[in-house]
Structure 1
Amino acid sequence: DHIDSESESDFEITGTRCRAKAPVASAVSCMKGRDNIQLPEIELRQYSLSHGCAIAPKDTVELRDLNHEGESMNSGDFLRVKYVIKNLNTGEVYLRGLRLKRTKYTGQLFNWKLNELAMVLRVPEGDTRCAFVAGLEDVAIEEVLRTRKCVLTNKPYPLLSFRDGERCAFPASFSKKEIKEQIFHGGLLACRMVHVVFISKNGKPYSGIIRHLHAREADPTGTTNDMFVAEQSQAETILLDDDDDNTQERSIRDLSRNMSSLGRRARMNSIDHGPRKRRSPPMPTKHTQYTFGDAFCGGGGGSQGAKQAGLSVRWGMDFDEHAIQAYSENHPGSLPFQWNAHDFPPEGYTCRRLRVDVLHLSPPCCFFSPAKHSDGSANDQANLEALFTVGPILKEVGPRVATLEQTFGLSTFKEHQKYFLMLLNDISQAGYNLRYKLENLSQFGLAQPRKRLLIIAARRGTPLPPFPKPTHGPLGSGLKKFHTIRDALLPIERLGNRPTGDQYHQPKILKKPKEPYDPRGFLRGCITAGGGVNYHPSGLRNFTPRELGLLQSFPVTYKFCGTQTEAVKQIGNAFPPIMAEAMFRTIAKTLEAFDKGYIHAEDDIDDID
């Protein structure tokens, strides 16, 4: 089956973020609230459909599919029922619950597996309620087609998949297609993932979280496991395509032989052994210094931010000769690798030796950037392919936390959305929960309205760190005032007209002056690999590379390498250190709080400060 990506207006980004500074609350406690049912609404214990089927809370119902009527291998969405509600004024009966979608209807976000679902919660941006409450949807009873057996599980695929259901044994006369249709329309459904979509005021999603269900959110599985044991005795092997894209065949018999080993790993990683006990907080100790690696490091903006945040920078990797030279000059205690990401790890080094607590990845973004339209060049192809090295590198290095910075065009441009979803899938398949957000870096002290896509991913078993809170804003916001061009260039302005001997600060007067503008504001455009459309506020000259470095939040003493053009490229491609520092400080605080027993791996963290 070929499923087109959704249009930009309907494009779904996922996340489970709560904005309020409040104590961490479990999804279970959030889901027990009944304050969203008020008169004239009343809750019913159950409701019977016209054909006799009774619907009650905790049931899963299949909704009518109005888009693919008549197609045998398509269906509507599903709803995990939380409440059955009747309106006393109108007599209308409807269901309130959590929406589930087949993974094949989520574009490239999840692997397309037979009868695998993902929970999709659409939450208004700024809603401080738990996503399992804010994401509840009302569905008219007329939309319900039938009830279905569905298990919410935190166990990895294929545990508790359709193979564990009651309807997984069929007559030998059934063709493979007939068996697949029977399972599709009547077999056990499984939901393992949560995809929370935060909807902004303009109706578009700009942030979200993709994660596995927590143990406390999963259904009890004793009954389903018993069903699986009973089904293992079937005599005939049934070959099925469990991938909805028909690329792989598995044998139920072969799969069952591997269940014992899979089960052992699952029990070690994901079974909930009852109420969690908080460890006693240890005595105060020194702050832990976490290790840091920088893939696609460029000139070292991310590593500079990590150093400012107190992390120990261990290594950086980039294919550009001048960029890795600049990196080594500014981070002499780390290992610089001039290496192609497709050939990771570098020759002579094992992934174990390169393992770090925090890994940052910023693949080249030119192909996806609004500042440059694709021209079909070889660089475009190389930049696109570099995006798909993220997942393999994560699997090889296995950091506790990974971060990624990209141009916002990757997630907002319709032609690039499929690559964005594939990137999120690669990170998730590497074993990570993640959150992503489009962030304006001016809110963190950058003197330019630079919008970037940021991703934080945490390996399963590690709490997912939150994004840092904005530190700068307009007057009256209670935050520091926005950082302006004048503020950023202050270290240079203090030098006046004195010669500096800095090859990257040699101002040259333009033959034809440009219109001057007020330096008490932002740059007119973002700094790009070519410098962008920016020029000095005086209108008499362009910015020097040193000034562009300050505007990108590099220290005035930072060393660049190569020609002035190469230096500008290193600056424009960099992850601004001021934003990197804010992210890595938050991540380090999260890891330290977890390591010292103050928080747990499955806590939903809103604010670590």
Structure 2
Amino acid sequence: MIYNKYKLIDLFCGAGGLSLGFSNLFGHNFEPVWANDFNQYAADTYNENFGKHCIVGDIVDLLNDPEVKIPAADIVIGGPPCQGFSLLNKNRDGDVRRHLWRPFMEVVERSGAEIFVMENVPQLLNSEEYEDIAQHAVKLGFFPLVKAKLCAADYGVPQVRFRAFIIGCRFTDPGEFFPPLKTHFNPSLGSNLSLSLQAEYVHNPLPWQTVRNAIGDLPKPVGTEIRKNVTPPLDLHFGRTPTETSLKRYMSIPHEGMNRFDLQRVAPEITPKCWIKKTSGGTDLFGRLWWDRPSVTIRTEFFKPEKGRYLHPCEHRPITHREAARIQSFPDSFRFLGSKIEIAKQIGNAVPPLLAAQIAGCVEKLLKARSKEKSA
């Protein structure tokens, strides 16, 4: 039986990690019909990979423009900018970015979508803002929302990254199909045989994917710029030109898992004074990844080791753009457009497509259940 594709709108879409997870690349039956992002480079990347659906601009301005038509859709997905909920911005109660769920829900209403998926930082789930979202959704005719904090590593992404997902559905309780069963497990918790008996896992789950699984086959990077004359994955596999002091710091902490505290212990003379004064916290700063563990969360400045645990497990350098993209579970075939800085933002801000694919599976089950009810 051939099913019609479900129409999808992606808001605050960035490069399109969520859309990619909902695509046929991961065996799903969704077709993007409209998308929006404020960043031109992100929109260019989205349009390069999904067709010319992404409109650049402030979503509030677009919704106020009578010339902008929101197409009909089955589902609206997206992650309203989340810095307002970040622990780094916990005192910014008046942050306007907290309220960007409102235009998100307006698109849901105007498109006639019967399902929405909102992605955000975990802090959202226990906030007053979440209660506002839930109450607003019920007024629009949605069942009570379901929410979950998910770890990307539990779904095959080689990265310990926690994200919040909220699902709303107009025609049934989405809790029947969400959250998705975990496909991978933390080896330190036990064996796959014992975990198979637990309700939140699939039968016979696999161990977490590791940094080695993701990037172990890549050669040493070449150059310091995007290489447009070579094919993926090597096009984005370039390095940096570290200062002499930076290189000495890398070489002073050669073993997996070492960090700024190890640097201070073995080479205090080249340790930044601000790190020496800061005696607690920040154990991932200037840290090396482990080969046989998942990565830490990939952020937008992964090419700066002073920002986190972004040093290669054994080479004296930070990870490359290609390595970061792979750790985020982007396939090498996905094309990123823009400068080095802009592509790094797109990679770091994205929802890991492999995690998004698990959410897409839940949504597809919801939609197929509705189709069966209608045909019964």
Give the 3-state SS of the residue equivalent to 1:291 in structure 2: strand
Deviation at 1:541, TM superposition (A): 0.7
User: For the residues of structure 2 that align with 1:497 and 1:398, how far apart are their CA atoms?
Assistant: 48
Query: Partner residue of 2:337?
Result: 561
Query: Partner residue of 1:383?
Result: 97
User: For the residues of structure 2 that align with 1:463 and 1:438, how far apart are their CA atoms?
Assistant: 18
User: For the residues of structure 1 that align with 2:334 and 2:312, how far apart are their CA atoms?
Assistant: 21
Output aligned runs, 1:312-327, within 5 Å.
312-327=31-46
TM-score by length of 2: 0.73
**Does 2:141 match 1:431?**
yes
Query: Partner residue of 1:541?
Result: 317
Give the 3 Å change call, closer, same or farther, for CA 407–546 of structure 1 in structure 2: same
Query: Partner residue of 1:519?
Result: 291
User: For the residues of structure 2 that align with 1:299 and 1:392, how far apart are their CA atoms?
Assistant: 22
User: For the residues of structure 1 that align with 2:152 and 2:60, how far apart are their CA atoms?
Assistant: 30
Give the 3 Å change call, closer, same or farther, for CA 422–374 of structure 1 in structure 2: same
More strand by share: 1
Q: Is the 8 A contact 2:221 2:239 kept in 1?
A: no
Which residue of the other structure, out of 177, 184, 193, is the alignment partner of 1:472? Answer: 184
Give the 3 Å change call, closer, same or farther, for CA 347–549 of structure 1 in structure 2: farther
Give the 3-state SS of the residue equivalent to 2:95 in structure 1: helix
Q: Is the 8 A contact 2:38 2:58 kept in 1?
A: yes
User: For the residues of structure 2 that align with 1:482 and 1:313, how far apart are their CA atoms?
Assistant: 30
Deviation at 1:462, TM superposition (A): 4.3
Which residue of the other structure, out of 116, 123, 138, is the alignment partner of 1:402? Answer: 116
Aligned residues between the structures? 302
Query: Partner residue of 2:9?
Result: 293
Give the 3-state SS of the residue equivalent to 1:472 in structure 2: strand
Q: Is the 8 A contact 1:394 1:430 kept in 2?
A: no
Query: Partner residue of 1:335?
Result: 53
Q: Is the 8 A contact 1:504 1:544 kept in 2?
A: yes
Query: Partner residue of 2:78?
Result: 361
Query: Partner residue of 1:528?
Result: 299
Give the 3 Å change call, closer, same or farther, for CA 385–369 of structure 1 in structure 2: same
Identity percentage of aligned residues: 24
1:331 partner amino acid: F
User: For the residues of structure 2 that align with 1:389 and 1:507, how far apart are their CA atoms?
Assistant: 40
User: For the residues of structure 2 that align with 1:342 and 1:393, how far apart are their CA atoms?
Assistant: 10
User: For the residues of structure 2 that align with 1:296 and 1:468, how far apart are their CA atoms?
Assistant: 23
Give the 3-state SS of the residue equivalent to 2:350 in structure 1: coil
Query: Partner residue of 1:138?
Result: none
Q: Is the 8 A contact 1:403 1:456 kept in 2?
A: yes
Give the 3 Å change call, closer, same or farther, for CA 569–563 of structure 1 in structure 2: same
Q: Is the 8 A contact 1:391 1:430 kept in 2?
A: no
Which residue of the other structure, out of 123, 128, 132, is the alignment partner of 1:418? Answer: 128
Give the 3-state SS of the residue equivalent to 1:479 in structure 2: strand
Output aligned runs, 1:203-282, within 5 Å.
none
Give the 3-state SS of the residue equivalent to 1:554 in structure 2: coil
Give the 3-state SS of the residue equivalent to 1:596 in structure 2: helix
Q: Is the 8 A contact 1:299 1:326 kept in 2?
A: yes
For structure 2, which runs of at least 5 residues remain unmatched after alignment? 196-203, 257-289
Give the 3-state SS of the residue equivalent to 1:530 in structure 2: coil
Which residue of the other structure, out of 472, 482, 485, is the alignment partner of 2:211? Answer: 485
- Which structure has more RCO (C-alpha within 8 Å, separation ≥ 6)? 2
1:322 partner amino acid: Y
Q: Deviations over 1:1-45 (max 9, x none)?
A: xxxxxxxxxxxxxxxxxxxxxxxxxxxxxxxxxxxxxxxxxxxxx
User: For the residues of structure 2 that align with 1:368 and 1:343, how far apart are their CA atoms?
Assistant: 23
Which residue of the other structure, out of 332, 353, 365, is the alignment partner of 1:577? Answer: 353
Give the 3-state SS of the residue equivalent to 1:588 in structure 2: helix
Deviation at 1:596, TM superposition (A): 2.3
Deviation at 1:549, TM superposition (A): 1.0
| Higher CA-based Rg | 1
Q: Deviations over 1:553-574 (max 9, x none)?
A: 1111222222222111111111
Give the 3 Å change call, closer, same or farther, for CA 594–536 of structure 1 in structure 2: same
Which residue of the other structure, out of 388, 392, 395, is the alignment partner of 2:106? Answer: 392
Deviation at 1:544, TM superposition (A): 1.2
Give the 3-state SS of the residue equivalent to 2:124 in structure 1: helix
Q: Is the 8 A contact 2:155 2:183 kept in 1?
A: yes
Query: Partner residue of 2:154?
Result: 443
Query: Partner residue of 1:92?
Result: none
Give the 3 Å change call, closer, same or farther, for CA 516–375 of structure 1 in structure 2: farther
